[in-house]
Amino acid sequence: MSNTVTIRDIYPICTAPERIPLVIVKVVTSEPGLYGIGCATYTQRWMTVAHAVEHYMKPLLVGKDVTRIEDIWQMAMVSPYWRNGPILNNAISGVDEALWDIKGKMLNTPVYNLLGGKVREAARVYRHADGRTLEEVGDKVQKYIEDGLQVIRIQHGGYGGSRGNSYMESLRPEGACDGAYYDPLGYELSVTKLFEYMRVRFGDGIEFCHDVHEHLDPINAVHLAKELEKYRPYFYEDPLPPEQVDWFRTMRQHAAIPIAMGELFNNPNEYMKLISERLIDFIRCHVSQIGGITPAKKLASVCEAFGIRTAWHGPGDTSPVGHAADVHLDVSSWNFGIQEWAGFSDTIKEVFPGCPELKKGYVYPNDKPGLGIDIDEELAVKFPCSEALPQWTNCRRPDGTLNRP
Ligand code: MG
């Protein structure tokens, strides 16, 4: 027993090199110099996750054997009794990913080898092209094609693009609340035109996906799916909010387009029915939001049995550590589909040495032991996180009604 390596300390590191709050968890072991890091990033409530790491995960887990990842995950999940919420799932993920990182370092091998080994050398990625006009979106697509990308997400005027600010103002009733206003009708009409424009300009050889961001009423989301069918989208993302998943059955009956769903899911009960009834084609969970590598690997295996591929959520509010974890899952999961890729600035790469590298539309895992990525803590504290509340989630319809963001 004297050889057992145990957890000596657990603490959160909060940093915002690109002004997006990121939460990293560091697990320090009893072995001098041996530690791991994991992603616990829930940008919109980062202080609450950091508090949970410091005041609950640390006292629960200090002294535990670092090799017992599964037992620690299960214990951290049931210790609070109420479970599967976004705050604690992220806190658990931070520790879970750090433990996989530690185990890789102990065995001197990358995490993908612990997950079954590579089934591909790199993960194909998609990136975001957005713009105010069709030409502007098209020019960004052109640039990505020149960079070697094969799949590109196209958005026109962000999520739920509008018919111009002054027009949107004219629709509002007097005294309406401030908020991030959007226009469901203008949006629905613009997406079909966007796909038509891209197919005319770029032909059939490029894949395009689109994110609805739960901005339509269910039947309108079904209608738009039918409209887009002829443009053969790579996938149609989050067309419905998690509260309306039963509508996927209706959508399936009307349009043969691949559906990607799930960045808002926290609890297995939210996705198991969609998977077992084959109502979606890509599972899109935010890996830290479901509790880290341990549940994500199991989820990928369940999806494999039902012919569903993975497309883990990977925007700027997934930390580089979270991105690294995603890539280890991507290269070792047979039913991997595609990886969303936000890209890293030079500042991010300095704060997080060892970021996975993007080359010609593919991202490569770092081949160092563990997750292969680190954090420069002294530099990280120079980019403090803002305590300001998010504004974009205060999403409203033209008549002032609050909508799902
Ligand atoms: Mg999305």
User: Residue ranges per domain, the chain?
Assistant: 113-367
Q: In this predicted model, what pLDDT tens digit does every residue of 81-111 receive, in sequence order?
A: 999 999 999 999 999 999 999 999 999 999 9
Which of 213, 286, 313, 323 is catalytic? The answer is 213
Q: In this predicted model, what pLDDT tens digit does every residue of 51-65 receive, in sequence order?
A: 999 999 999 999 999
The predicted pLDDT at position 169 comes to: 80
The predicted pLDDT at position 105 comes to: 98
SS in 3 state form for the chain? CCCCCEEEEEEEEEECCCCCCEEEEEEEECCCCCEEEEECCCHHHHHHHHHHHHHHHHHHHCCCECCCHHHHHHHHHHCCCCCCCHHHHHHHHHHHHHHHHHHHHHHCCEHHHHCCCCCCCCEEEEEEEEECCHHHHHHHHHHHHHCCCCEEEEEECCCCCCCCHHHHHHHCCCCCCCCEECCHHHHHHHHHHHHHHHHHHHCCCCEEEEECCCCCCHHHHHHHHHHHHHHCCCEEECCCCHHHCCHHHHHHHHCCCCEEECCCCCCHHHHHHHHHCCCCCEECCCHHHHCCHHHHHHHHHHHHHCCCEECCCCCCCCCHHHHHHHHHHHHHCCCECCEECCCCCHHHHHHCCCCCEEECCEEECCCCCECCCCCCHHHHCCCCCCCCCCCCCCEECCCCCECCC
Asked if residue 2 has pLDDT above 80, the reply is no
Which of 35, 126, 159, 234 is catalytic? The answer is 159
Asked if residue 9 has pLDDT above 60, the reply is yes
Q: In this predicted model, what pLDDT tens digit does every residue of 234-254 receive, in sequence order?
A: 999 999 999 999 999 999 999
Distance 211 CA to ligand 1 centre (A): 6
What is the reported pTM?
0.96
CATH architecture classification, 113-367:
Alpha-Beta Barrel (3.20)
Distance 79 CA to ligand 1 centre (A): 31
Q: In this predicted model, what pLDDT tens digit does every residue of 174-205 receive, in sequence order?
A: 999 988 888 888 899 999 999 999 999 999 99
Distance 95 CA to ligand 1 centre (A): 25
Q: In this predicted model, what pLDDT tens digit does every residue of 393-402 receive, in sequence order?
A: 998 999 999 9
Verify whether residue 313 is a known catalytic residue. no
Q: In this predicted model, what pLDDT tens digit does every residue of 349-360 receive, in sequence order?
A: 999 999 999 999
Distance 71 CA to ligand 1 centre (A): 32
Mean pLDDT over the full length of the chain:
95
Verify whether residue 159 is a known catalytic residue. yes
Distance 213 CA to ligand 1 centre (A): 6
